[in-house]
Structure 1
Amino acid sequence: MTGNRGGLIGEEQVRAYQEDGIVCVRQAFSAEEVDFLRDVVTRDMAAPSRMGREATRDGSGRFFSDTFVWKHIPELEGFLRTSAAADLARALMKAEKTNLLFDQFLVKEPGTSTPTVWHHDMPYWPVNGDQVCTIWIALDPVTRDSGAVEYVKGSHRWGQRYKAEAFIDKDLYKEDLPPVPDIEAMRDTLSFAQYEMEPGDCTLHHGLTVHGAPGNKRSDRARRAYVIRWTGDDAYYYPRPNLQPMLEDPGIAPGGPLDCDLFPVMRG
């Protein structure tokens, strides 16, 4: 096993990630790191990058997101390079190297009713491979009432990709894939994971793990998360039309490794 900084990851967690497609790591990030990220998200929400979006649709409240934030607020690069995040991803993916695909803030402010629809991540992105994962770092206490993410365990091994579900522009994604099945109707036959979290806790899920989240019913706190998308050795550039916009053209040939200024190698 590689990248096991500080003993945060054990063989049981690596096995659970490979089998279930989701694990939770408690207190992976220090109070100082959480405070830093809270400061950055406050600054970013006040003055978002050109990638910033309001994802609230047909509901109340504010569901804010911004991507490639490390290119907008350069201090984030230090966190990405020195925190445990890349090491956790590398260990669970069993990768020799780890590239940063992009980072993201996802914020559901108090009273935001908009759910995160059931989906999995990779159909949105110009990347393919098995070593693709997401770290979701809690910056506030997270409960079901505040919008804790729910994951379908083992869904990354279903051998099926589903059509990307649009959060804002319903006509954006046109790839010829079947829709996500009716997860709610399948609850009796599936196994789920949902974690209540404290600031500094994180989850890591595979790029094909199906997941969704309710709205934030709390009136007293936001659900702020710093989310980092990572890739490993077997990932390659896989551009198609009508994907989630990237910050810029990375200048990579289709099928090529992701190593470039936009998707830098962080470990390895």
Structure 2
Amino acid sequence: MLKVDRSKITSQQVEAFQRDGVICVKNVLDDIWVERMRTAVDKNALIPGPLEVKGIPKSNGHVEHSSSLWLTDADFRALAFESPLATLAAQVLKSEKLNFLTDGFFVKKPKTNSRVGWHNDLPYWPIQGWQCCKIWLALDSVNQENGRLEYIKASHRWGKELREGSNPSWFVEPEPQEILSWDMEPGDCLVHHFLTIHHSVTNISSTQRRAVVTNWTGDDITYYHRPKAWPFRPVEEIDLPELNSFKAKKPGEPIDCDIFPRVELHH
């Protein structure tokens, strides 16, 4: 079991997360962490990730993405289990228990059609429950020009799942006053609920925009089989020993397993 010290963010920030479904927390990580993760992202952007098919070159898309890097990369593992991020997740989730789902990175290339459509995250995970969040860590300055995220305020309270491009009849593009977004500096974090609907705008600037994400769950989360969810390939095709305990999961069971490790929190 992995251990992390528990500290505090403000009660107002926790309340804002519960109310709005997303908060921006400034200066979560210092310059040393930021530079370390920039180097790790730049390195891993060139090679297949642990869940990807080996021997196939990475596609040259407008948004570079990879996930589950903590399984093979020491820097990503340290970010999950040695940085302040786990503490932040436990605080916003108001949870006594914390599991780490996985990490990932997104690199938006400059001057490309790199928009990501409206969606929320829960449909992409084999889980059910309420206490779940993503922490989106900025490694570069983030603004309207280079692809910032925008959230529909309090949309996590709708209780509806939205996959990108699914266009259900109930979803209508939001009015501007319903949108929450922030300009960010390296080391700042967005924390959003898995049901908060969001998108990201196109990077029209001349520089790339890099971010690292970590995904966390709390007390009430259990396993739930979802088609077309993580790991997005049949588990039998992925040669990772950490997946063995995941394969035996039954619906309604706690998600604790080698691939979704539990983090011990000190009080």
TM-score (norm 2): 0.85
Partner AA of 1:258 in structure 2: I
- The answer for unaligned runs of 5 or more in structure 2 is 53-57, 236-242
2:105 and 2:210 in contact (8 A); partners too:
yes
Partner AA of 1:255 in structure 2: G
Partner AA of 1:165 in structure 2: E
1:55 and 1:65 in contact (8 A); partners too:
no
- 2:186 maps to 1:187: no
Q: Which residue of 2 aligns with 1:199?
A: 186
Partner AA of 1:39 in structure 2: T
Task: Check 1:244–1:107 CA distance in 2 against 1; reply closer, same or farther (3 A cut).
Answer: same
Q: Which residue of 2 aligns with 1:233?
A: 219
Q: Which residue of 2 aligns with 1:165?
A: 164
- 2:253 maps to 1:263: no
Q: How many Å apart are 1:240 and its aligned residue?
A: 2.1
Q: Distance in 1 between matches of 2:170 and 2:73?
A: 35
Q: Distance in 1 between matches of 2:72 and 2:59?
A: 17
Q: How many Å apart are 1:113 and its aligned residue?
A: 1.4
Task: Check 1:265–1:133 CA distance in 2 against 1; reply closer, same or farther (3 A cut).
Answer: same
2:69 and 2:77 in contact (8 A); partners too:
no
1:161 and 1:208 in contact (8 A); partners too:
yes
Q: Which residue of 1 aligns with 2:231?
A: 245
Q: How many Å apart are 1:86 and its aligned residue?
A: 0.6
Q: Which residue of 1 aligns with 2:55?
A: none
Q: How many Å apart are 1:243 and its aligned residue?
A: 2.0
Partner AA of 2:188 in structure 1: D
Q: How many Å apart are 1:191 and its aligned residue?
A: 1.6
1:151 and 1:209 in contact (8 A); partners too:
yes
2:63 and 2:108 in contact (8 A); partners too:
yes
Aligned length: 245
SS at match of 1:123: helix
Q: Distance in 1 between matches of 2:127 and 2:171?
A: 23
Q: How many Å apart are 1:179 and its aligned residue?
A: 5.7
- 2:136 maps to 1:136: yes
Any idea what the Cα deviations from partners look like across 1:176-229, whole Å, max 9, x if unmatched?
A: x9467131xx316x521111000000010000000001111111x211000001
2:101 and 2:216 in contact (8 A); partners too:
yes
Q: Distance in 2 between matches of 1:123 and 1:25?
A: 25
Q: Distance in 2 between matches of 1:207 and 1:179?
A: 21
**What is the RMSD of the two structures over their aligned residues, measured on CA atoms?**
2.1
Q: Which residue of 2 aligns with 1:59?
A: none
- The answer for unaligned runs of 5 or more in structure 1 is 57-61, 167-172
TM-score (norm 1): 0.85
Q: Distance in 2 between matches of 1:143 and 1:48?
A: 29
1:132 and 1:231 in contact (8 A); partners too:
yes
Task: Check 1:214–1:55 CA distance in 2 against 1; reply closer, same or farther (3 A cut).
Answer: farther
Q: Which residue of 2 aligns with 1:73?
A: 73
1:134 and 1:227 in contact (8 A); partners too:
yes
2:50 and 2:69 in contact (8 A); partners too:
no
Q: Distance in 1 between matches of 2:138 and 2:180?
A: 16
Partner AA of 1:11 in structure 2: S
SS at match of 1:18: helix
SS at match of 2:17: helix
SS at match of 1:133: strand
- Listed as ranges, the matches of 1:1-268 within 5 Å are 5=7, 7=8, 9-51=9-51, 54=59, 56=61, 62-162=62-162, 164-165=163-164, 178=168, 181-183=171-173, 186-187=174-175, 191-219=178-206, 221-245=207-231, 248=235, 249=243, 250-251=246-247, 252-268=249-265
